[in-house]
Structure 1
């Protein structure tokens, strides 16, 4: 066949920014954003984003510059998902639950040119800027100008920096022409897998990947015309699992919540007719534990897409009885959010309730934006048997996988091997092709939807003068899903009183964000180890489950006994917390 030319008429680089332009044309007078007493239409949102992009350019923000934002789920946070790339820049949404050290590290690593800060987070931002200035004096690290985001529903009178968000919007050009995207491989956003102070991982998304991931999830979750989407998932989590762009694509309504509280959730559902929401399983507990005065009647089922440590079958049943229909997903930051979705099969409706809940807790099949998903033996790179028992590592490939880790070529090369992205998560494949996670190879703890590195906590614990050995594992928790549980061995010459639980919690709070502080500390004579001296975390996980009332407690004295590898594997398999995911 003859070679036909590529031209502007038949080829336009993919970017989710075009969803907003279309929404402003196709759904101009439809409500785009609801926030307390504030309402915008899609025509207004498009104009506001163009104005903001214009002001960003006037502040010398251009191609590939990083613009950071520290804010909850408010209109400004939503608008910046379009305005920042319209200016040709890269959006970096920072986890509002991090401490000042972590925020400063992200600002330094990303070389952010601007920092937008919500009025309620001024103290956190101020502390981070002070730390950044301390670093800057020694290392020549630039400090970005800070722009306040005041409250649209009523200005607070708060002040930080010389600029204010709404002033930038009003002062911008409503006819601004967005920067032309020449290459869909260009970065659109930068998301950090964790706010670690030692080695932050900056995950770079491309315009192409964000576009395809958005469209894929709209199809999988079947967001039909005019959805009303409630923001209970932080927009800083993988850009709201791409639904920041996705709601615009469907001309839906964004209902913004500053805080995820039961009263606000039920009120929003009742008053605005919410149809969809995403959340970590911790939000289920918020809903279920709501008092009578907080609840409202739900007239039609609300669709929930959830990820993180999967909710137990009993919890799924309870939440669905309250008027919610749950779809379970698995993903990670590097995959632009959800990578697997447990697509429901009609024949499962006939199964007993408990069996339906068990099937729903599986991670499922790959999303459409992925070219392939598999579970492989990494030694041979052969696919594991589809028997629901043979374990391997989950690997992915496709256009929705990250561009790579910012300024970390070694980590990028390690993640991309043999033509696959290696997730580090261990799973099985069932006969029907659905994948189920069995464990994590990286010992990540998920607490309330937040990924917590056990290694980072252990590093802090080893700084305590009374600690000789430290290991942190996940302990099941009725509210948070999981919380860190720390096992310590005393340094010779120190007493147990020095490492009492209250003292250790206070010690950790000075060095870690609150959600990373272990809720339980256990003192052992020595930590269980292999013959080569490696700490056996599966033993500690089993004990943590026992302490939490999950399975049989393991006696401390049992660590002195030697067990065969076969028995250890059998015990560990019996006590695994099944099907946990990393969203």
Structure 2
């Protein structure tokens, strides 16, 4: 057999092959546009050169405390400059960044700290009471760095004698960080909500994060120097990789500590925001703002929204308010967005009912995703592209996670048959667009956050008056979906709707508690299985 001439003397070497990673994007932005504003936070203005220097200082300080390859650095931070700095500094040391969800309760936070083996923790003083409780439960004893937001000071007690700004100042701005030895190396760790049992740790690699940066820019229409408003929590899938994406296009990050209507309108108008991302709750906050909170937006703002598509009236109101909407869909396991509803100009002239139907679809594969399909999960054969036959939505590509940390069984199950199984049930339309029809794991997506119906049911079952319960999603204009519980009481037991809601709020993170409790006989099959499809219909009018 003749040897392939395109392999003779054409080997990989340092000159023609480098691992893909987003870490070099900030270095380039700092080199090309050193004085351009990279971060706005209150009265703070941080240039790309300053951002890069601070990230290197933080990386140096972390390395000085022994942080390196294989270590986990956890952060409990809102959308602040420190969170952006951590996205670069932690992987610059070879360590893995673990962003904690600020809405979680103490036991789950403690579980994550232990499971991740957190060696160092950076925590905002707003969350000091929560973190103090979590650390009292956790077995791990990470080194703690307190972050005090000087623009928006918080009252929480310091949990250590190490202050973030002092810690950063102790580092070397010329720290010689290195790219990963292998692009398959882990860059970050994100936990799922957990549909049964404890949440799973989703591991991202440098290659996937780098490719997401280019895909994000293409999918959202970003060009040089966009102004990105941080309404999407950076703790959620690493902000869909936008903390790194904005450096790719030498853009400006506008930090938003709390998602409030006036703050959003002020930022959009004052800083000429071009892009933002979020769940339908962000839309509701903007549209339901009081007159004194509103400001006229005279330019178009690209709004990338995920979770369930909002009602047509909401989309129309957003358009009138100056926002251009792009619907995305994905999972924690796919670095955030894995599909987008690519809109065709020819659809603009279609009847309203047809346009509404098209807008409700999750769309086609993201630019960085290699394959998207809908399959029968048992036979692993593609379902007909008829828009009717239901199968499981599956993915293949470089923006699929490495796997679940310390959980080979769950990893093997997720990748069975050589595809990532999303757990979402949907259809494939004749034009190749997918549409979700149900969630096989009964996860409720409320305000962009996943809520396990099983977790809520478990809490309800612990109430002495509850004999049987089932929790499903109830459509909600503000939150997209909220938990709705159907409950059968034990004989002679009495309890009010308010009592059960308060019970759930005491035993769960508050956003997971049902907004509605319906006392009724729960529909079941002849074998006693709860018929949740009936409950979903009942919830619409509950």
Q: TM (normalized to structure 2)?
A: 0.96
Once the two structures are superposed, the pairs formed by residues 93-242 of structure 1 within 5 Å of their partners are 93-132=99-138, 141-153=139-151, 158-194=157-193, 198-242=197-241
Select the residue among 533, 538, 541 that pairs with 2:536: 541
DSSP-derived class of the 1:468 partner: strand
C-alpha distance in structure 2 between counterparts of 1:429 and 1:278, whole Å: 26
Match of 1:570 in 2: none
2-structure distance, mates of 1:172, 1:159: 21
| 1:479-498 equivalent positions in 2, closer than 5 A | 479-492=478-491, 494-495=492-493, 497=494
Measure the CA separation in 1 of the matches of 2:164 and 2:135. 18
- Please list, as runs of the form range in 1=range in 2, the aligned pairs for 1:139-538 lying within 5 A after superposition: 141-153=139-151, 158-194=157-193, 198-492=197-491, 494-495=492-493, 497=494, 499-524=495-520, 526-538=521-533
Q: Could you tell me how far apart the structure 2 residues matched to 1:503 and 1:399 are?
A: 47
Kindly indicate whether the alpha-carbon contact (under 8 Å) linking 1:327 and 1:360 is maintained by their aligned counterparts in 2: no
Q: CA deviation at 1:354?
A: 4.9
**In 2, Cα distance between the equivalents of 1:357 and 1:40?**
42
Give SS of 1:148's match.
Answer: strand
The alignment partner of 1:510 has SS state of helix
Q: Residues 183 and 176 from structure 1, CA distance in 2 versus in 1: closer, same or farther, beyond 3 angstroms?
A: same
In structure 2, how many angstroms separate the alpha carbons of the residues matched to 1:279 and 1:357? 20
- More off after superposition, 448-457 vs 153-162: 153-162
Say yes or no: does 1:11 pair with 2:17.
yes
Q: Deviations over 1:137-174 (max 9, x none)?
A: xxxx3221221111132655752212111111111001
Q: Distance in 2 between matches of 1:164 and 1:320?
A: 44
- Once residues 152 and 257 of structure 2 are traced to their aligned partners in structure 1, the CA distance between those partners, rounded to angstroms, is 14
**Displaced runs of 4+ in structure 1, greater than 3 A?**
154-158, 195-198, 352-358
CA distance in 2, matches of 1:178, 1:354: 55
Q: CA deviation at 1:468?
A: 1.8
Relative distance call for 1:408 and 1:326 in structure 2 (3 A) is: same
Across the aligned residues of Structure 1 and Structure 2, the Cα RMSD in angstroms comes to: 1.5
- Tell me, in whole angstroms, the C-alpha distance in 1 between the residues paired with 2:123 and 2:296: 36
* Partners of 1:152 and 1:510 in 2: CA distance: 32
Deviations 1:21-80 (A, max 9, x none): 111111111100000000100000000000000000111111021111111100001110
Q: Which residue of 2 aligns with 1:558?
A: none
The answer for the alignment partner of 2:65 in structure 1 is: 59
Asked if 1 retains the 8 angstrom alpha-carbon contact of 2:195 and 2:454, the reply is: no
1:22 aligns with 2:22: no
Q: Distance in 2 between matches of 1:483 and 1:533?
A: 26
Q: CA deviation at 1:180?
A: 3.8
Shift of 1:380: 2.4
Separation of aligned partners in 2, 1:73 and 1:101: 23
Unmatched 5+ stretches in structure 2: none
Conservation of the 8 A alpha-carbon contact between 1:72 and 1:235: yes
User: C-alpha separation between the residues in 2 aligned to 1:27 and 1:464?
Assistant: 59
Alignment TM-score, normalising by the size of structure 1: 0.90
CA-to-aligned-CA distance 1:345-390 (integer Å, 9 cap, x gap) = 1212333455434322311100122111001122322212222111
